[in-house]
Amino acid sequence: MLGDWKKGLTKENLLDALSELFYHDLDSWFNVSTFYCDSCVDAFIKKWPGIYSRDMDFQTNSIPLDTFYEGGRVRELFTKEEFTKLSKHMKCPNCNEFISGHIWPYDMSFDVPDNFENNVNEIASIAERTPFLLLSHPFAQQVYNEIEAFSKTMTPSNLPKPLFRARMYKRNYSYVNEDFLAPEKKIIKEGRYNHAGRQVLYLAEDELTCYYETRSPEEGIMLAKVDVPEKMKILDLMDKDLQDNNIVQAIQYSSLLSSPDEGEGWYKPHYVFTRFVADVAKSVGFEAIRYPSVRFNKGYNIVVLDYEKIKAHVKIIDFKYVPKDNFMSK
Ligand SMILES: [Zn+2]
């Protein structure tokens, strides 16, 4: 009889057996070795907004404990009642709280650098109080060194063709090509990768990303196809050669570069680190940065930092009105 194996076992023995099967199921079902729980998942998402928004595995792997039980081998050796009772005594490997409700099976794809959380907090504090002094922090220096080292391995390359740039649609306005170039210096506010008054050119790699980056306006967008004929040295944050670079991966998926939170008006402390990365990139010879969109999780953007270099050659191929419905049906 299958039930007999439990005879004489203590609760601890049973819990060990359950735990072993549980992790076995986690591995064979999700191909991961660990998970997050209802108690810690919010903190995890806050810490790693880039993982939440971009790694579909993380979003789709969330599973109620009941369902996990039904689909795995745990079920062969424990009744539902036993599982419900015993699993209340299992602890989350991440936060050590007792599990209940859901689990989020997920393995990080990189090793989090030592002391990373502390570093992020200190960086955030400098960004808020004395942003010009960011490079005084050892972690910021490390980021500088990594980007500088990467720069030495890179040669200029072509930007994808075409790229897209949009304006929120205004009725009764006659659009001209210049509307899709960098705005005049005097009206430029600070942005994700530019200081106030600094001309850069933000471009998206596809139309849908462009729409989301324009903040999904009800009135639709005027969408331009753009060709940047120059070869440029591009800091591609998604470059395969950077996949094993724990520092770059960590800053990319953390709130440092992927914060969806943008602050009000001029108060944008979350842009300090991205602008710092833009300064670093420029100072070590990069002319553009390719980065994942935080508004549309499948999208990529390119910001041309060296606008002077391209402004005489950049071509607006054409532009057209695209209503919201065209994007919503996709
Ligand atoms: Zn937890």
pLDDT tens by residue, 298-323: 899 999 999 999 999 999 999 999 99
84 burial via Cβ count (<10 Å: 0-12, 13-18, 19+): middle
Cα-to-centroid distance, 142 and ligand 1 (Å): 30
Provide the whole-model pTM.
0.89
Q: Which residues have CB under 8 Å from 31's CB, separation 6+?
A: none
Does residue 85 sit within a domain? yes
Q: Is residue 166 located within the same domain as residue 243?
A: yes
Q: Is the pLDDT of residue 324 over 80?
A: yes
Report, as an integer, the average pLDDT of 187-215: 94
Contact (Cβ atoms closer than 8 angstroms) between residue 18 and residue 78: yes
Per-residue model confidence (pLDDT) at position 245: 95
Q: Which residues have CB under 8 Å from 108's CB, separation 6+?
A: 51
Cα-to-centroid distance, 302 and ligand 1 (Å): 36
Q: Is residue 63 located within the same domain as residue 8?
A: yes
Domain that holds residue 276: 131-328
Cα-to-centroid distance, 107 and ligand 1 (Å): 13
Cα-to-centroid distance, 163 and ligand 1 (Å): 42
Cα-to-centroid distance, 41 and ligand 1 (Å): 7
Cα-to-centroid distance, 296 and ligand 1 (Å): 27
Does residue 125 sit within a domain? no
Does residue 117 sit within a domain? no
- Distance from C-alpha of 281 to C-alpha of 286, rounded to nearest angstrom: 5
Q: Is residue 44 located within the same domain as residue 185?
A: no
Report, as an integer, the average pLDDT of 105-115: 95
Per-residue model confidence (pLDDT) at position 265: 62
Q: What domain count does the chain have?
A: 2
Cα-to-centroid distance, 108 and ligand 1 (Å): 15
Cα-to-centroid distance, 149 and ligand 1 (Å): 37
Q: Is the pLDDT of residue 70 over 80?
A: yes
Query: Of 88, 105, 122, which one is at a domain's C-terminal end?
Result: 105
Q: Is residue 199 located within the same domain as residue 301?
A: yes
Does residue 114 sit within a domain? no
Per-residue model confidence (pLDDT) at position 267: 65
Cα-to-centroid distance, 254 and ligand 1 (Å): 18
Average pLDDT, the chain: 92
3-state DSSP helix/strand/coil percent for the chain, to nearest 5?
A: 45, 15, 40
Does residue 288 sit within a domain? yes
Cα-to-centroid distance, 94 and ligand 1 (Å): 5
Q: Which residues have CB under 8 Å from 312's CB, separation 6+?
A: none
pLDDT band, residue 206 (cuts 50/70/90): very high
Tokens coding 100: 């209940």
Q: Is residue 98 located within the same domain as residue 140?
A: no
Cα-to-centroid distance, 101 and ligand 1 (Å): 11
Q: Is residue 289 located within the same domain as residue 165?
A: yes
Cα-to-centroid distance, 15 and ligand 1 (Å): 18
Per-residue model confidence (pLDDT) at position 1: 45
Q: Is residue 157 located within the same domain as residue 25?
A: no
Q: Is residue 297 located within the same domain as residue 174?
A: yes
pLDDT tens by residue, 77-103: 999 999 999 999 999 999 999 999 999
Q: Is the pLDDT of residue 328 over 80?
A: yes
Q: Is residue 68 located within the same domain as residue 163?
A: no
Report, as an integer, the average pLDDT of 269-289: 94
Cα-to-centroid distance, 244 and ligand 1 (Å): 26
Cα-to-centroid distance, 100 and ligand 1 (Å): 10
Cα-to-centroid distance, 92 and ligand 1 (Å): 5
Cα-to-centroid distance, 35 and ligand 1 (Å): 8
pLDDT tens by residue, 126-151: 998 999 999 999 999 999 999 999 99
Cα-to-centroid distance, 266 and ligand 1 (Å): 36
Does residue 214 sit within a domain? yes
111 membership: H or E segment, kind and range: none
* DSSP per position, 200-211: -EEEESSHHHHH
pLDDT band, residue 263 (cuts 50/70/90): low
Cα-to-centroid distance, 91 and ligand 1 (Å): 8
- Distance from C-alpha of 87 to C-alpha of 263, rounded to nearest angstrom: 41
139 burial via Cβ count (<10 Å: 0-12, 13-18, 19+): buried
Q: Is residue 163 located within the same domain as residue 213?
A: yes
Q: Is residue 87 located within the same domain as residue 197?
A: no
